[in-house]
Structure 1
């Protein structure tokens, strides 16, 4: 038979029904004689359905996918390969080939002669992928020299010997009886002249090549041999290709005709109405994936009937889309990435835990929590001998509580032992088995074979204690199946199974193998709504097409960065580059839409960098083309928000800002009165001054803030350390007089270093915070010593003082700890160290006699009321309290002054906050007051305390005081709610 003319099937019509008609016509009503060669097996199901709908009873045509065609071609070859080499086998073999060539190549020798397998394997896997692609394209590469300025030095060395590596690689594969899919295609193409009898076109057995658009090198060779032998090439394309001026997306089909010097003729007639057919196109610009899916669900419910395809540009969209479909009985014909499954998240969390271990083997606490919180582990359970059921989640929650209240790095065996002591024996045994199977066994695995055994242990553990859970979650069960039938065997049986690898590389290999896996769906039924990927749409026809997430990063998509062979160098080797991949994507999309009745496109707009759910993207350049076409037809630009270019819109209402407060209920009133009857401290009073609402949450309601490991700076620990250092520094001078210069900076630094070691700050603080602390503290201590008085007597250090105070006629019990008590000029001076910021008070407060007279009068009026004050009195009390908290933001020093006077009997000269954060200066409470003014100020300290306590006792509401402290307040979420 001679070469047949190409049969052009117009893309305005469905392809497969016309193909079946042509097959029946050329076989004279006996389609069972025909052989159809297609890119993949998916069309076979539709061809069977077409014959079924037509009531045909007889033999069906034989359909062969291209991979099966290659297998048939290779079956005749002598010495066929015995085993398919997986990527790890290929990496091991390439290591030998490169090291062998390095003996005679200086560039390879410099880079790879002494490189062990662990360092070579990443390059080996990239090189194996490149050689596989060269086989598929039918290219025998040559050495590419002088690429040092284009790629990295190791890549330049490999590309400089690429031709020799390819020949050595093929020889090594043949020597071992190994093969790869690409090599099979390459060898089949070399024997293209010997067409297998099952594929040989004949008058009584016509062969149809259908569904191909852009050919690889081996496809070109094999299919051309079939065509020359008489096969019919059937192109579903723009019919203007017959005139030599096809649509730009069909340029490859036109080039195909010219390259083979083939004639073309129409396969079916095209009516005038069909020739002018254009689908009704609708566009929707969303702000995220959820807005797209909401619009998709609406359109599916309100558009016309007919066959429907929901086309996903990214397989990660599958589950979100399925949740939004109005019809649940759908046909899913694409695989779901195993990397998106909970199983992968469990394995990845364990890999991350191992990669983040400290040098002493301790585990990073956040990584451990990710493992302990995984849903797979939390749904496992076991039964004791008496039938009692124990849920593993109870043990995991107990362990989580220990981890969250511990340090940044967890001693896992010690933590497990502590947790075991708090659990029943059966549950403790299950928790131990869980951690040994997941964490312990992975820590011991250092080869791919060991990693495969670890995966088997996890698989067995989940099945043993999961019960019927896996029957209720088939997607997860299928993920477990593919883990043990695909990933684990590939790790266990390869040429590198016994090679010891560092953890990062070992887990990287496992992640790559897991990310390659897809969880398949049963592709039934073939009617109704079908969910499929862009490649799965080849040859198929749908009345309604909905393309989700039509953004430029996935349609056509951006080429991945390849450190071995950048996209700019691919054409040098005859490999398809980004432009060719774009033309393939363009043809697939335009062919799908050309025969559809409706085509809907959804995307999210915004900046170019993006994530799946909350990122913003750019619409596809193909969508831009469709929009431009619509604008040309209308003669005007499309306005977002009006048909056919819709846009997501949401109504935003301004919510008035209302102060957050809590009414005084009987319960809160009782709790407050109980608090005031107890022993009071200046710290608690300051908490009320800062924010009454926080005081209520923390003290009256006793809500405990969330306990969690502090990974940043720890101001409280640093403050405790500095207090301990100053206590040790002044300890030898207790009861003695200290003069400026008696204590040196070196002594102060030695005390701080000792306190720092005892507090373990080097373990508690991040490395950068610890370095900054060690660098800044000597300077701060030196400035502190420089601002000390010329002479002072140390009376007490960290003295606890308890006393009863009569405040405006009412008794209250107080307690406090004074950091340092000095005697200066015969008077006691209170010093309180502050390592953080200092709240400055109004210096004029202590000479404002009218204010304190008003405070005394208010306290008396409130007490005389006998119960709740009237509204006018309460309003005045609120105003006085607000004035007090603005002018005196801390009650600590006034309380210490009042306590000293009541307990010691000695006159108090002043009190001061010692600011250690910057200059080390003392900030006095009273300042330069005369004797009478000083005595009055000490009395006013009690009035200030009395005013605060009366407000605490009678305020009808507890208001929040928004300020900078809200950023680290543990109760801020309560205010937001």
Structure 2
């Protein structure tokens, strides 16, 4: 089956023998490149090639204007805005940039459709007046200024267009209007040059004027890529524009359109692939491509209705496909170097003498920072060591590698205005150019950024409208999102990856179209316009219906000559991200030609329902030596209970010595609160060691709680801020915990109890002699408080977390080393055992005071009978399970196996 381009070339060969003067006009440059290839293969004579232009280039040629850069257009629009008399108080360029693109887009539409500006602006102003009309209230100054602004839009338009025309530039709509007004001059200058228009569908008024004028003067032909199947269905959206031209153009009063065909009804295999996720489509496409031969790949196109899937797709394409032609550029915003400069602008717009640690952390650990700084590890370490939530630049420079000082100053010294910011960014990119490894993508993306900042610098030097770094940051993000870096490839070989608009005029035997969902294909309603629906209908501007018709044509045209079609869509019926299949798929299902074979497929990910095998680490000879080293130094009760919770955690923390990631503690951590409370209580109670506590002395102690807690926060939390926010609450909680314990002791004394402090933070240790272990095994720990309560020795462990009495009651001794729930009981018994072994003192009770459960007072260990008295028999039984636990840890044949959490 011949392609559309082949059809056009064949018919043009019959019409014209000399092609030197022909001018081909197509919807895109890409289609023009493929046409050039087709002409080269089919035109047998030797001669000069015809002129091949995209519609954009052709219109600019007719109007003799160049398309203005969107950023420059924003500046020129602001320049015109400043000349307005109303409103008297002008917005900043940053504020103007927030709403100006929508206004410029509306002006663009107005010009492309050649509207009467006087009438249009009058109606627009009236509509804005009605939006603010309220008979019950007097008009405010704000409303008056608002209305004055809309009434001044014609002046803004005149100022803007006159400025652009004087510079021989214009935005798209202005160029189109100018071209339609000057078409007679163009015709007179080019009467001997036939024009071939091809592959068009939705034409604005300017394009219709230009094309019909050329056709009426017998200066060429227009070839439509339209299938008769859709023309036979009178209401089909895909043909709505074509039918309109047939009825309205004088050219078609006595002529039939050219290049009408019945390709769509040819046999096709169409698969509708439903996926649960966006990436699921990508993986399925990769699977299909992996099964195609090189010849099949060359006639295949992967079309992305949602162009955000480009990078995942490129990563998923099988490595065997070594030739890929990507027609879409990748936006600058997706590259790491762009994110680095976004972060720098974010830091600079804070305009603070100190730098927020999270911003610095993101900067110093950014993947692209190695091209600028030689050594960031020391800076990260210093910030975390001193627990700095906000860091002074002088401190950073003092800690940094001497080779990094100048670059750090360039990055982090205040950029006081946009000029210095742009200069600094350009200088940093020059440093990157000199230091980045050759051939890496970072150099390519950096060059794109360099051109972006250089462009902004030239504009800033000319007009200086950007005053704040925040405005530059906002503009940078917008430009990075819209500016693209093109992929380099052979346009005519290998797999074709393209967006939907790039498929115009092109045909492929196999098509894989992704994201055929409502809201994507068609795209759904857009709110970026000041024009109401009624105003658009009145002036025949495109509404949502016309935009949907454009998508309908592109969707079905893509299928005209394809033989194998895979259409992918995502179906999610729940949540905010719910999606449904496109109406085009439903239409295809309900009204297919008889020769089409339509198949429905559900893309699923296989799920292995078998529970994962627990991870394990086998004990090698070197690991056993490390365990012996640990045993000789000693096990703490917390490390043993850590093993009970999960042997792999014990292996990571004790054997491999892997510590938790050290970070800046912006909010007081749980362990820091515990340290503050423990240290405060130790210092406050230390003068009472060996003495009977007295209510009066403890009452006096209450007055020293706040300064003591403050001192401990300064030591444990270092330079962290406890004067506001969550930290202030935690600071007050720490004071309350300490005061609660003191008040609880006062209450005990007032009830006639005797209480004497024996020791605080008592360091305890002992050696265990285990069968089959030839070396001594040591255990050690620190008891928070040992006291005499009414003559009985009591071991007290403080806990800032919640502990329940049930956590300290053990029914079966085996539970102590099998269930982490009893870790607290394990710990207090360990203190009792070590106290007896070290000092020969048998504690009467050993337990916990939980600051979150002060209503329970002291919670002692209890055995299965409910007794809290510790006896030699209890300690003997405990020592047996303790030895059993350590023997398991040291056993060469028992590996470290991950404990499954249910």
What TM-score do the two structures reach when normalised by structure 2?
0.82
Q: What's the CA shift string for 1:729-766, capped at 9, x where partnerless?
A: 44565534233883687764565455445544892689
Quick one: which of 289, 304, 318 aligns to 1:312? 304
2:60 aligned residue (63, 66, 71):
71
> How far does the alpha carbon of each residue in 1:424-472 deviate from its partner, in whole angstroms, 9 at most, with x for none?
xxxx41x3344344x236x41631x4343233213211221235x1xx3
Tell me what 1:623 maps to: 585
Q: Aligned in 2, Cα 1:799/1:164: closer, same or farther, shift over 3 Å?
A: closer
CA contact (8 A) 1:313 1:534 kept: yes
What is aligned with 1:226?
A: 214
Paired residue secondary structure (2:607) = coil
Residues 1:165 and 1:761: Cα distance change in structure 2 (over 3 Å): farther
Residue 183 (structure 1) shift: 5.7
Secondary structure at 1:896 match in 2? helix
CA offsets 1:808-848 (integer angstroms, 9 cap, x no match): 99987654433233332223333221101326567765xx8
Does the residue aligned with 2:558 lie in a helix, a strand or coil?
helix
1:283 & 1:25 partners in 2: Cα distance? 41
The residue number in structure 2 matching 1:452 is 422
| Residue 738 of structure 1 pairs with residue 694 of structure 2 | yes
Q: Distance in 2 between matches of 1:829 and 1:81?
A: 87
Contact (CA 8 Å) 1:605, 1:617: kept in 2 or not?
yes
Q: Does 1:344 align with 2:302?
A: no
Match among 908, 913, 933 for residue 848 of structure 2: 913
Match for residue 277 of structure 1 among 255, 262, 266:
266
Q: What does residue 93 of structure 1 align with? A: 79
C-alpha offsets along residues 602-628 of structure 1, whole Å, 9 cap, x if unaligned?
A: 334335889xxxx88543332333233
Distance in 2 of aligned mates of 1:344 and 1:462: 13
Task: State the match for 1:47 in structure 2.
Answer: 35
Q: Aligned in 2, Cα 1:603/1:412: closer, same or farther, shift over 3 Å?
A: farther
Whether contact under 8 Å (2:224, 2:260) holds in the other structure is no
Assess if the C-alpha contact under 8 Å between 2:227 and 2:260 holds in 1: no
CA 1:738 to 1:259, structure 2 compared with 1: closer, same or farther past 3 Å?
Answer: farther
Cα distance in 1, alignment partners of residues 717 and 274 from structure 2: 56
Partner of 1:518: 484
SS of equivalent to 1:702: coil
Report whether the alignment pairs 1:552 with 2:518: yes
**Which position in structure 2 is the counterpart of 1:951?**
885
- How far apart, CA to CA, are the structure 2 residues paired with 1:64 and 1:171? 31
Alignment match, 1:109: none
* Matching residue of 2:435: 465
Q: How big is the shift at 1:559?
A: 4.3
> How do residues 353-372 of structure 1 correspond to structure 2 at under 5 angstroms?
353-354=347-348, 359-365=352-358, 367-372=359-364
Select which of 896, 908, 914 maps to 2:831.
896
Distance 1:313 1:918 in 2: 59
Q: 1:408 to 1:257 in 2, by over 3 A?
A: farther
Partner of 1:185: 175
**Distance (Å, rounded) in 2 between the aligned partners of 1:245 and 1:195:** 39
Separation in 1 of the partners of 2:638 and 2:232? 90
Q: Which deviates more, 538-547 or 283-292?
A: 283-292
Structure 1 window deviating more from structure 2 (692-701 vs 902-911): it is 902-911
Q: 1:523 to 1:157 in 2, by over 3 A?
A: farther
| Displacement of 1:512 | 1.1
Per the TM alignment, residue 187 of structure 1 is displaced from its structure 2 partner at its CA by 4.7
- Paired position in structure 2 for 1:239: 228
Pair 1:925-2:860 in alignment: yes
Question: Is the CA contact (8 Å cut-off) linking 1:88 and 1:495 kept in structure 2?
Answer: no
Counterpart check, 1:652 vs 2:607: yes
Matches within 5 A, 1:270-419: 276-286=265-275, 287=277, 288-298=280-290, 300-301=292-293, 307-323=299-315, 324=317, 326-354=320-348, 359-365=352-358, 367-378=359-370, 395-402=375-382, 407=387, 409=389, 411=391, 413=393, 416-417=396-397
- SS of equivalent residue, structure 1 residue 249: helix
- Structure 1 residue 913: deviation in Å? 0.9
2:179 counterpart of 1:196: no
Aligned mate of 2:637, from 682, 686, 709: 682
Deviation at 1:914, TM superposition (A): 0.9
SS of residue matched to 2:610: coil
State the match for 1:975 in structure 2: none
Supply the distance in 1 between the matched residues of 2:529 and 2:848 (Cα, whole angstroms). Answer: 60
**Alpha-carbon separation, structure 2, partners of 1:924 and 1:759:** 28
Gaps of 5+ in 1: 1-11, 104-112, 381-391, 422-427, 853-878, 967-977
Deviation at 1:172, TM superposition (A): 4.8
For residue 136 of structure 2, what is the aligned residue in structure 1? none
1:362–1:297 distance in 2 versus 1, CA, 3 Å? same
Q: CA deviation at 1:717?
A: 0.6
CA contact 2:305–2:520 (8 Å) conserved in 1? yes
C-alpha distance in structure 1 between counterparts of 2:742 and 2:539, whole Å? 74
Partner of 2:111: 135
Kept after mapping to 2: 8 A contact 1:804/1:811: no
Equivalent residues in 2 for 1:89-168 (5 A)? 89-97=75-83, 100-103=85-88, 113=89, 115-139=91-115, 140=117, 141-142=120-121, 143=125, 144-146=127-129, 148=131, 161-162=149-150, 164-168=152-156
Aligned counterparts of 2:602 and 2:796: Cα–Cα separation in 1: 65
For residues 457-501 of structure 1, the C-alpha deviation after alignment (integer angstroms, 9 at most, x for no partner) is: 13211221235x1xx34x554433333335522343247753454
Q: Does 1:790 align with 2:775?
A: no
Matches within 5 A, 1:587-626: 587-606=553-572, 618-626=580-588
CA pair 220-594 structure 1, distance change in 2 beyond 3 A: same
Closer, same or farther in 2 for the Cα pair 1:608/1:676, shift >3 Å?
A: closer
- Taking the aligned partners of 2:393 and 2:600, their CA distance within structure 1 comes to 61
Partner of 1:263: 253
Match of 1:824 in 2: 789
Q: Distance in 1 between matches of 2:514 and 2:143?
A: 38
**Mapped partners of 1:369, 1:410: distance in 2:** 11
Q: Which residue does the alignment assign to 2:680?
A: 725
Of residues 547-556 and 718-727 in structure 1, the stretch that sits farther from structure 2 once superposed is 547-556
- Cα distance change on mapping 1:600 and 1:184 into 2, 3 Å: same
Paired with 2:229 and 2:649, the residues of 1 have a C-alpha distance of: 76
- Inter-CA distance 543–765: structure 2 relative to 1 (3 Å threshold): farther
- TM normalised by structure 1 equals 0.77
Whether the 8 Å CA contact 2:783–2:795 is kept in 1: the answer is yes
| CA shift for structure 1 position 660 | 5.0
Aligned-residue offset at 1:547: 1.8
2:408 is the alignment partner of 1:435: yes
Provide the rounded CA distance (Å) in 1 between the counterparts of 2:619 and 2:303.
58
Alpha carbons 2:4, 2:505 under 8 Å: kept: yes
Q: RMSD of the TM alignment (CA)?
A: 4.4
Post-superposition offset of 1:916:
0.5
- C-alpha change, 1:51 and 1:361, in structure 2 (3 Å) is same
Contact in 2 for aligned 1:70/1:184 (Cα 8 Å): no
Matched-pair contact (CA < 8 Å) for 2:281–2:568: no
Residues 1:801 and 2:760 aligned together: no
Could you report, residue by residue, the CA deviation over 1:861-889 in whole angstroms, capped at 9, with x for unpaired residues? xxxxxxxxxxxxxxxxxx58647977664
CA distance in 1, matches of 2:254, 2:388: 72
Cα deviation 1:244-284 (Å, max 9, x = unaligned): 9374311111122323354264456878x758435332333
Instruction: State the 1:313 CA deviation.
Output: 2.2
Partner Cα distance (2:631, 2:233) in 1: 95
Asked whether the equivalents of residues 192 and 221 of structure 1 are also in contact (C-alpha less than 8 Å), the reply is no
Contact between 1:372 and 1:400, CA under 8 Å: does it hold in 2?
yes
Q: Is the 8 A contact 1:212 1:235 kept in 2?
A: yes
Residue 211 (structure 1) aligned to one of 199, 216, 223: 199
Paired residues of 1:402 and 1:415 also in contact (CA < 8 A): no
The 8 Å contact of residues 787 and 920 in structure 1, kept in 2 or not, is answered as no
- 1:537 paired with 2:503, answer yes
Query: Residue 941 of structure 1 is aligned with which of 865, 875, 890?
Result: 875
Q: Aligned partners of 2:758, 2:81: CA distance in 1, in Å?
A: 75
Query: Post-superposition shift, 1:957?
Result: 2.0
1:587 to partner: Cα distance: 0.8
